[in-house]
Amino acid sequence: MLSQYLYISTAPSLSREEVEKILETSTRNNPAHGITGLLLYNGRNFLQLLEGEENELVGLMMRIGSDKRHTGVSLLSSTQIDARSCPDWAMKRMFIAESVQSRRDTLDDELPQALDPEIRKMIVNFAVLN
């Protein structure tokens, strides 16, 4: 059964290299576990969308939850899904535009069309926070 999780966490001062390392690990590990998703980092907080088989997601969330590079992992949503929203992304880094005005438009273009509208709204709201 396919599920989709959305969570936020706090990591006040990670360097670009540290975030790149997390993405490298994710793109290396996730295909073997059938996990897909996207990751946003705004310099203080992560937001990550994860999708895959429920048992795989539970396993990954345990690892992510005990990862010392961030704290306060907080699940915003967990739902069963019929099909993946991001089937082609082992872990997509979504960049947040510099200009607050253009963030909403840029993300709206880049986020997958198949995303549930409520999930999309949560991701866009996260991205426009300063």
> Where do contacts with ligand FMN occur on this chain (CB under 6 A)?
9, 22, 25-26, 29-30, 46, 48, 60, 63-64, 67, 69-70, 91
C-beta closer to ligand FMN: residue 64 or 107: 64
What is residue 59's three-state secondary structure?
helix
Q: Which residues pair with 94 in a beta bridge?
A: 40
C-beta closer to ligand FMN: residue 23 or 128: 23
* Least distance in angstroms from the C-beta of 92 to ligand FMN: 10
* Least distance in angstroms from the C-beta of 38 to ligand FMN: 10
Residue 25 half-sphere exposure toward CB, CA atoms < 13 A: 11
* Least distance in angstroms from the C-beta of 63 to ligand FMN: 5
DSSP single-letter state for residue 23 = H
Q: Which two tokens stand for residue 68?
A: 């010392």
* Least distance in angstroms from the C-beta of 64 to ligand FMN: 4
How far, CA to CA in Å, does 59 sit from each of 85, 101, 104? 20, 38, 32
C-beta closer to ligand FMN: residue 62 or 102: 62
How far, CA to CA in Å, does 117 sit from each of 32, 72, 101, 121, 122? 29, 25, 20, 6, 9
C-beta closer to ligand FMN: residue 4 or 48: 48
